[in-house]
Structure 1
Amino acid sequence: MNQFTTPFGSKVNELPVEPKRYRLIWSPACPWAHRAVIVRRILGLEDVISLGTTSPIRPNIERVDWEFALDEHGVDPVLGITYLSEIYKHTDHQYDGRPTVPVIVDLKKRKVVNNDYFKLTNYFETVWKPYHKENSPDLYPEHLRGDIEHMNDVIFQDINNGVYKCGFAQSQEAYEEAYDALFHRLDQLEGRLSKQRYLFGDYITDSDVRLYTTLVRFDIAYFTAFYANRNLIREYHHLWDYVRDLYQTPGFGDTTDFNAIKRHYHLSITLSPHKEQLKVLPKGPDLSGWNTAHGRERLSKKEEKFLFTGR
């Protein structure tokens, strides 16, 4: 899926780091895209890289696509397209993969230049640093990068992608293997987060962003739609406090759209084809707990105002 992987940077054949040249396309339903939007907001890149938003519901057409149904006249106001596939096809007429989010479009060339969801936040955190807002946090500190990369791989394999392995398993054996790996890893992180506020101590890092986007979708989507139903996240003491701590941090909760998440995972015809005719949207869960006190401050050695920077 990630055919467009040219990195951002200043070297030959890298994508130039230039303000107002690029547009990030996302869907609020998608966890891979959500983390790019969180980092964009945290680092103050909102005036540097524009944002286009697709509908959480896949269009009812013969192919898998994303649609700009939320915009006036159903057209992205900058790109002038109705379906995301249009810009993919304009970039490569032979492209036959799914048009995925997140994706970066070069507005000068009007072409897709990067849809590498795994590395995109790291580019925002490093080579885009000259355009970070003043006193922005260091989500990817050099002295922790090896540990963060290892943690990101673990989170990806067993949790981010782990829920999808459960939901799209082609056999009972594959489902149970993914299910066991998912909850084994969640149990491990429950223990880790009993001793420290964030995955690497007192400061939020790129790894926390990646874990958050799955945890915040878990009870409202994955528990039921993907059969990841051993435990709800709110049944974990430390994980539940931790994800609420992040939710209440600027950049996290204010970019989280529970309605979009619920509609995508329960009504989208490409994820739940057997529900195409029924289209029942679950009434729950109760969302009132997301803004309740989490008490995670007690695990931090830093003053509250310094928790969001590792500089």
Structure 2
Amino acid sequence: MTTTPSAPDKAQFAGEVSERGEWKRQANHFTGRISRDSTSAPGEGPDNQGRWPVEVGRYRLVVCLACPWAHRSLIVRGLLGLQDAISLAVVDPVREEPGWRFWLDEGHRDPVLGIEHLSEAYLATDPTFEGRVTVPCIVDTLTGHVVTNDYPQITLDLSTEWVEHHRPGAPDLWPEDLRAEMQPLIDEIYADVNNGVYRCGFATEQEAYEEAYDRLFARLDVLEERLGSSRFLMGDEPREVDVRLFTTLVRFDAAYHGHFKTNRSKLTEMPNLWRYARELYALPGWGSTVDFDHIKRHYYVTHPAINPTGVVPKGPDLSVWPAVAPALGD
């Protein structure tokens, strides 16, 4: 049995809390896909299978630089060279009612979509929507409707459906011959690490917190051992699974260690994971997408049930990260 938090808590936590205090993530509501196999003509909406046509310049990726789920899509879009194919909107890191807001833009409105809050696009697409508005999402600029907020599928589709628009020399982040081996690793990392830090932070009972904590560090120990004999998780080249782990690791000491009480070890105290994270951070298109100011302000200001004072910590010392390599386009 689960109970739905009150409106302020639901807005903060995007999920449900069970009677034993275990937090469960909200399901993705919009699951359309932009596909090369869409039967829709350019300029039309989705076909009868919910697939939208690949169309350069039509879609807008909405992200928050603080959000690890959105960060994945930002990295992949840049690595593949899709900046000119899919435009980018960045919301303010501090989320308040009614949700993500475009307050970084002139006039507090997205210059392409013409809206102040992302919730406007959600409700234009589904007037009955009552869940929490999430990023990343892709919005169709022709209709103003949300195509998808299905964050695990977004990055895979950028790799497989937009191939004709990838930059020369773009990496193969989702190679077909590695998918059978990579998918179970992705699933384990999601359950215990990506989502595990949230299960620690949003747990409302001691037992639920400790269970999530133990699973998190057991998985990190497995990954620490794996990276003792491998440069990246799948060998000598970064893949999709590395994107997914990196976005959690880069937030670990700045947010999760203190704010979410994942405090057995800092990332800097796990030698192989720390080496791995720093190496990815130094690669073009990785560290240049990290904004520690947005990360810290979002976590410490947006969750008053966890940090009621809203005080943002001054640390940790970010000079331990290497110099940022150049971005891959804008």
**Partner residue, 1:228:** 262
What residue identity is the alignment partner of 2:292?
F
1:203, 1:181 → 2: CA distance? 27
Q: Which residue of structure 2 lines up, in the alignment, with residue 159 of structure 1?
A: 193
1:273 and 1:76 map into 2 onto residues whose CA distance is 30
Q: Which residue of 2 aligns with 1:178?
A: 212
TM-score, length-scaled by structure 1: 0.90
- Residue pair 1:152, 1:207 contacting (<8 A) in 2 also: yes
Give, in whole Å, the separation in 1 of the partners of 2:144 and 2:91.
18
Question: How far did residue 292 of structure 1 move?
Answer: 6.8
Distance 2:95 2:119 in 1: 12
Cα separation, 2, equivalents of 1:116 and 1:151:
19
Deviation string for 1:148-177 (max 9, x for gaps)? 211111110000000000001121111001
Deviation by residue 1:59-98 (Cα, 9 ceiling, x = unmatched): 2x3x4x1011111111111111111101111111111111
Q: 2:76 aligns with which of 16, 39, 53?
A: 39
Cα distance in 1 between the residues matched to 2:232 and 2:305: 38
Contact preservation (8 Å) 2:61, 2:138: yes
Q: In structure 1, what is the equivalent of residue 311 of structure 2?
A: 280
Q: Deviations over 1:28-77 (max 9, x none)?
A: 01000000000000000001000000011012x3x4x1011111111111
Q: How many residues align?
A: 287
- Contact persistence 1:8–1:16 (CA under 8 A): yes
Structure 1 match to 2:29: 3
Q: Please give the alpha-carbon distance, in whole angstroms, between the structure 2 residues aligned to 1:274 and 1:47.
A: 39
CA shift for structure 1 position 274? 5.5
Gaps in structure 1 of 5+ consecutive residues? 294-311
Shift of residue 244 of structure 1? Answer: 0.4
1:206 to 237, 240, 253: 240
SS at match of 2:52: coil
Structure 2 residue corresponding to 1:244, chosen from 241, 260, 278: 278
- CA-based RMSD of the aligned residues comes to 1.3
Superposed, 1:1-311 pairs within 5 Å as: 1-9=27-35, 10-12=37-39, 13=47, 14-59=51-96, 61=97, 63=98, 65-268=99-302, 271-273=303-305, 275-276=307-308, 278-291=309-322
Return the offset for 1:272.
2.6
Matched residue of 1:273: which SS?
coil
Q: What is the letter of the counterpart of residue 4 of structure 1?
A: F
Aligned-pair identity (%) = 51
1:211–1:274 distance in 2 versus 1, CA, 3 Å? closer
Q: 1:114 to 1:292 in 2, by over 3 A?
A: closer
Runs of 4+ in 1 over 3 A off after TM superposition: 273-276
SS of the residue corresponding to residue 151 of structure 2 reads: coil
Counterpart CA distance in 2 for 1:109 and 1:279 is 38
One-letter amino acid matched to 2:54? V
Structure 1 residue 145 displacement after superposition: 0.8
Secondary structure, counterpart of 1:15 in structure 2: strand
- Cα deviation, 1:107-150, whole Å, max 9, x if unaligned, reads 11211011101111000010111100001110000000111211
- Alpha carbons of 1:266 and 1:116: their partners in 2 closer, same or farther (altered >3 Å)? same
Paired residues of 2:259 and 2:306 also in contact (CA < 8 A) = no
